[in-house]
Every structure is written in C-alpha cells, then in structure tokens.
Chains A and B, each alone.
Chain A
Amino acid sequence: MISAGYNLVDNPQCGISSREDIVGKPAGLRWTPVEARWRGREEQMLTHALVPIAASPAVDSANENWCPEESLQDDRGIWPDDRALDGDGDGVARCDRGAYEIARNVIQAGGVNGLYFNPEADGHYVYVADTRFNTMVMWTTFDANRRQAWIFGIAKEAVAGRSLIADAYINRDGRVSLSGQFDPATSEHWGRIEVEMTSCDQGQFAFFSETPGFASGEFEIVRLAHVKRLGCAND
C-alpha cells in the first residue's frame, strides 16, 4: 500500500511514512453503540461504531482536503456545511481521521478531578488529578489473583477537559516493615490507561496491559466525589 498521508496506525512496525502519518501511537477507539441516520432510511438506526475518544490523535487531525461532508453516523451530512467538528475542544473545528466524526463535548477545566468507581464491581477506584503540568490517573485495583495492585498513568493533559490517554506504570520492590521502615520502589511500564468522561459524572475507563497477572478491558466509571471548590460543568 502506498500511503497518501494522514493515516493513523497503532503498530510501530508499520513502514508507512507519508506526510502526517501517525505510526505507533494508540488510536484511542471505542466500539460504541451509536445512532446512525443513513441515506435512504428515514428512521435512526442503532449500530456500533469505532468512535475515537477526544484524546485520540485521530481527532481534529485529518487532511481538510479529504474531509467529506458525510461521516459514518450520518451520510446525509447532519452538519449542513461541513463534517468538521471541534472534537478536541480547542476552539478549532477540523475533521477527524477515520470513518467517525466526534462532536464537541467539553468539561470545564478542573471538572475531571475526583474519585470514581465502577458501579458493577465496587471496591476498585480511579482517581484523576489534573495538575499544573500533567494529568495523573491512579487506579487502585487487584490483579487476576485477587492481590491488591495499583497502577498509575501520566498524560500530558485532559483533552477537552475530559479525555486522556496515559502511559501506565506499576511500582515494584517497595516495602514497609512492621516497624515502619521503608524500602523505595521502582517503576516499570505496565501498559496504557484511557479515560473518556462522557459527562461530569460518567465515563469509560479502558486499560491495556501485557504484564503478567493483568489483562486488557474497559469498564464504566461513575463519580464518587467531587473535589471541593472545583465544580464540574459541561460547556
């Protein structure tokens, strides 16, 4: 295949290297139920689509010359003038790479901070801290053998105030003796964490790991608590 540019391929061994190709980065896609309104059908249709999260490098990064008026979810063009939408909330509307175009959905700065849990399996927690330099995610959970585990992810920023893709790490070899003496720990790469809040109080948490004792998957997260003085509102 000859690349004409503006592709996004997650496999780092892929040899395409045309203009603006992105190779070896996670696409940040979710297999998500969506309502589509396709040409020739009056009613909306419930289907599934590969929807990029707001932090995906696919969002708002397509070549404008190839930006069609239609997208997967509406081939009639539900947006009268252009498919291009401001998916990453930076104030500039551009088309996304791929078949699906995401709409603008921004959470006000600071709103993503807080504590979340999974209502279907309580006892695992996710903390998000949007700091002055980056955004951190702490996932306090368990491994497959029911041992306590904690994983932390660091992302540059919460895109649109609600979405992030973070390299994740696990710390090993630390210790706290019974008398309170500490051994330091060392970090090793664990995998990847993706957080996509769909509103102030709900979102999806996805994890990807090949570390022994862990796997990949995703689950819904619901807010347990807001940080005092930091409200949350959808813009």
Chain B
Amino acid sequence: MTERMSRVHKRLAPGLNGLLLCMCLCAVFSASLFAATHTVHVNDGSVPGLVAALEEAAGQPPSDSTVIVLSGKFVLPVGQGIPSIFYGDVTIRGGASAAVVTAEEGWVGPLFAIGEDARLRLANLEFIDIRLEWPGLIENRGELEINRVQFQKIVGITLCRNFGCYQYAGRIVTNHQTGQLRVDGVSFIDSGAGGNLIDKFNFGALLRNLGDATLSNVQVYLPSGLQVAPFANEGSLEIVNGSFYSREAVLDSTLLGSMSGTGTIANSIVVGFTPEWCEVIQSLGHNLVDNSDCPLSGENDLVGVEADLIFVPVEANWNPQGREILTNALEPLATSVAVDSGAPEYCTAGSLLSSDRMALDGDGDGVSGCDRGAVERVPATLDKGGINGLYFNPQADGHYVYIAETTYTTMVMWTTFDNQGRQAWVFGIGGEVSPSGRLITEAYINRNGAVRLDGTLKPANAAPWGRLEIRMQSCNRGRLIFDSDQPGFGSGEFPIQRLAIVDLLECVEGP
C-alpha cells in the first residue's frame, strides 16, 4: 500500500508541483496585475481638481500608486486642506508647464497629512507665498520624499492676543516618529519667519524631525529677524551638501534647535548662525562654518572662515520635461574656500540646480573639484574683456558700478550716495582682473570741483578714500566690497548685477 501510494505520488508529483508553481505564479501575477499605476493630470491650477485627484487616489487599492501631474498656478482658498493620504503611494509633481502652489490672502491648514502606511513624493513644484496655521504645511508619519521643490515665503500667520502679537513658526514639515523623510534638491527661501519665542528651540521653523530624515543638496536662505531655529531634531537627521545662510544673525539664531536627537553633517556651508548647533551634531567632515565659536572638528572642516557666497537668480533645471524654474541660489564666488574643496565621496550626489554634480574648475586654477554646499559653481571666463560694463545693486537699485579694463589698468567707478543721502562717486584704480574674477583697487574721491551756473568748470582734487574690491561670480554677477574711513562712508559689500555688456566684447560662461 505504502509502495503503491508512493508510486502514485511519484506519478502525481510533477503535476502537483506544477499546480503549486502555477498557484504561486498566479498569485504573483495577480498581485502585479492589481498593483496598477494611475496617472491623473490636473491642469490650469484647479484646486478642486487636485482635491478630486487625491480623493480618487484614496479610493484606490493600497497596492496601487497614483501620479498626479500638476500644471498652472494653484491658489488655495482660506483654510483649504487637502485629503489625507493614509495608505498607498502618491506622487504629486509638476508637469511641462509651471506648477505653483500659493494661497489667497489668509492662511491654509495642514496641506498634506501622510499616514504610517502611505508614501508621498513631491517633485518639481514651487510653493510660494503661503501663510500657515498650526501645525504647518506637511505632517508625515509614513514615507515622504521631497525632490526638486522650492519653498518661498512660507510663513506662519500672525496672531494677536491681549499680550500682543506673535507669529507662528510657519513650519513646512513635521516628520513624526514613524516618518521617513528624504529631502533632495530643495530650496527654502524667506520661509519660517517669526516664531514663538517661548518654544524657539523646539519648534523648527522649517522642519521638526522626530523620525528619520535625510537632507541633501538643500538650501536655506533665511530672512532677517528669525527667532526660531530652522531645524529641530529629536530623531535621526543626516545633512549632506547643505547651504544654510541667515541674512542677519540675531540673538540665539541657531541652525538646529532641540538637542535630543542625533545627527550628522557633511560637505555643508553654514553662515550667519550662532554656534549652539555645532554641539549637537556630529561632523563627517568638509563643512565650512563662518562662526569661529563653532566647535565642529571633522576632517577638513573649516571653521571661522568667510564663506564668500552670493545669493543670485539662477535657472534650476529641475523638470525632466525641460522646464526651468527661476529661483535664487547661494552660489560660492570663485574666491570662496568652498570652491573645489568638497569631499569627493559626495561629488556625484547631484546639486541643488541639477541632478548631476560634475567636478568643475570653479576657481580657475586648472584643477577640477566639487564644491562644498548645495550649489556647484560654474566657472566663467572673464578674460575676453567680459568684465567691462555697467552694473547695479539688485537689492537697492539706483547705485551703479562701471568697470573698464583699459590698456594700462582697470578702473572701477562707483556712483552712489553717502550716509546722509548725498550723491557721491568714488573711483578705484587697480591692476589686472585675476582668473578667478577678482580685482582689488585703491580708491579715491574727488573734492572741491564745481560746475558753475555759467556752465564753466572748476577743477577738483583727488584724495584717498579707501579700497574697492570686485569679485565676479559670473559674467553677469558679482560682489563689490568697499572699505573706507572717510567721513560719511563706511565698510560693507553688496551684490552687483550687470546692466549692460559692452558691444563687441564677449564674456563666456560654462565649464
């Protein structure tokens, strides 16, 4: 019997195995058959369309994924929320035309809430001019990936009570304990202003992380008067290739509030922040910090060194369809120590402005290398007379700089005003423009001249004024640094942007 059974079994076994195999394959096939991807296009900035698309995504089986492609300007009405994403895989990305999310005068509630079993990917989008109510723009308890996104002027609403007015932090992301957050190629500009003074260290004006977060190629450019740390970390935080700039350092303006988490930072630039954050994060090296009190001591860390950055308009090639976003980026000048001194292991990790980071010769010394920070400097060739021309201060129009590379020397004429608001002009005479686009001149001011009311001229005398230094970033942008001890003048610097290029002279930008 046993033998017979055994023979039967042997005869049946191939068929049974086949059946089992078939069942397995069917199961796999069924799973793959039902794990569909749904693509929804929401055009013309239709907010109801976006809400409907998310409701439709919520109605799909958990194994499905939904891609929502946005185009147009989405103006959120007051108090607008968006359906939560409790499960499934949702991508919201910009399409071929611009996709901007903004808000009416007023505020919006939490815009995106991602559940523990959900995954949301935001890509190629711009969030601009939104005022937020507590707790902020995005609440993540699942997986959140933010890739090639710009947040600009995202601030908290102002509340007034009996004791006065204050502003919520306007936090953009809260990553909860179960949250997995990946942020890559993202720019935060003029966001997170204000804040609750009482909780200033715990808030995290841009990000509060209680889970697991990685920030790479992230730029933060903060408004003056910030009263809360842009980041709060009570979980695990990894920062790579970041550029963080506080425009006007105020008391207790630290980068990283909340001391209870663990974190690492590498290949990043931090400017204008007080140094408390340095004690609660481990350096993996190649960071550049301007504050000399920061005890960061990783390999090749540079502390107490001027970063030499310039905040300039750039085009970010974020969209696979070729749409370029006009944004502003913290680019290192050719003279910056951040240029060509980055860690090679982070060289291929992309940058804020492109998905690839090539090692370029940003300082013009003939040796290519990646830069520290979120932006890779693209070298410019200024040796064809390209520096000649007229420039202005984009942050305060009406002050001009004229640069003329003459046969014998290079001259800089700065037509401006003194501290009393009187017209003034100062000229610098220097040597040659260096390959890195730097020019240092001795500056003079002329006095006692006149054009009399009969139209005749009285000669003037030149007197030493101080120093004018030009540091060109590219053919069209740079910085003027001035230093004077003459009455009515001081020291400082400002960006210069080209108004006009001299005809017949060329200036070449590119690797």
Contact = CB atoms under 8 A, between A and B. Distances in A.
B236 to A, nearest CB: 41
B453 A227 contact: no
A122 B451 contact: no
Interface stretch (A78-86, A96-104, A195-203, A216-224): A216-224
Interface string B379-420: 000001100111001011111101011111101010111111
B423 A150 contact: yes
B494 interface: yes
Contacts of B427: 125, 140
Contacts of A2: none
Nearest to B420: A175
Contacts of B397: 184-185
B507 to A, nearest CB: 12
Given A115-B404, A142-B450, A171-B423, A178 B398 contact: no
Interface stretch (A10-18, A21-29, A47-55, A130-138): A130-138
B434 to A, nearest CB: 15
A108 to B, nearest CB: 10
B399 A185 contact: yes
A229 B413 CA distance: 20
A177 interface: yes
B322 interface: no
Contacts of B493: 180
B491 interface: yes
B455 to A, nearest CB: 2
A109 interface: yes
Given A136-B500, A174-B416, A182 B393 contact: yes
B453 A144 contact: yes
A143 B446 CA distance: 13
Interface stretch (B16-24, B213-221, B458-466): B458-466
B86 interface: no
Interface in B285-315: none
B366 interface: no
A65 interface: no
B415 A150 contact: yes
Contacts of B409: 225
A1 interface: no
B106 to A, nearest CB: 30
Interface string B21-36: 0000000000000000
Contacts of B400: 138, 152
B27 to A, nearest CB: 68
Given A130-B502, A215-B453, A228-B405, A178 B419 contact: yes
A42 interface: no
Interface string A138-180: 1011111111111010000000000000000011111111111
B446 A230 contact: no
B505 to A, nearest CB: 6
Nearest to A138: B402
A175 B421 contact: yes
A127 interface: yes
A187 B422 contact: no
A114 B404 contact: yes
B448 interface: yes
Interface in B421-470: 421-425, 427, 445-462
A231 to B, nearest CB: 10
A127 B425 contact: no
Nearest to A225: B406
Contacts of A186: 398
B489 A178 contact: yes
A6 B147 CA distance: 66
A179 B504 CA distance: 38
A43 interface: no
Contacts of A72: none
A148 B425 contact: yes
B390 A148 contact: no
Given A142-B451, A185-B397, A230 B504 contact: yes
B492 A121 contact: no
Contact of B446 (A148, A184, A217): A148
Contacts of A123: 446, 449, 459-462
A123 B446 CA distance: 6
Contact of A122 (B385, B459, B502): B459
B345 interface: no
A177 B484 CA distance: 12
A136 B499 CA distance: 11
A146 B421 CA distance: 16
Contact of A144 (B406, B450, B491): B450
Contacts of B385: 227-230
Q: Which of B413, B449, B461, B482 gathers the greatest number of chain A CB atoms within 10 Å?
A: B449
B500 A176 contact: no
Given A141-B449, A142-B451, A136 B390 contact: yes
B320 interface: no
B491 A180 contact: yes
Contacts of B505: 227, 229-230
Contact of A174 (B396, B446, B460, B489): B396
B450 A114 contact: no
Given A109-B504, A123-B462, A230-B504, A217 B416 contact: no
Nearest to A108: B504
A124 interface: yes
Contacts of A129: 388-390, 402, 500, 502
Contacts of A118: 457
B501 interface: yes
A183 to B, nearest CB: 6
Contacts of A217: 451, 454-457
Given A121-B457, A129-B389, 14 more contacts: A113-B502, A123-B461, A124-B449, A127-B413, A132-B501, A132-B503, A150-B415, A171-B398, A176-B399, A214-B451, A215-B452, A215-B453, A228-B385, A228-B388
Interface of A: 109-110, 113-115, 118, 120-125, 127, 129-134, 136, 138, 140-150, 152, 170-187, 207, 214-219, 225-230
Interface of B: 384-385, 388-390, 393, 395-400, 402, 404-409, 411, 413, 415-425, 427, 445-462, 482, 489-494, 500-505
23 contacts: A110-B504, A129-B500, A130-B502, A132-B500, A141-B451, A143-B451, A146-B449, A147-B423, A148-B447, A150-B425, A174-B421, A177-B419, A179-B492, A180-B482, A184-B396, A185-B398, A187-B398, A207-B451, A217-B451, A218-B455, A227-B404, A227-B405, A230-B385
Which 10 A-B pairs rank lowest in CB-CB distance, beginning with the nearest?
A: A180-B492, A217-B455, A185-B398, A123-B460, A182-B396, A121-B457, A178-B490, A131-B500, A225-B406, A174-B417
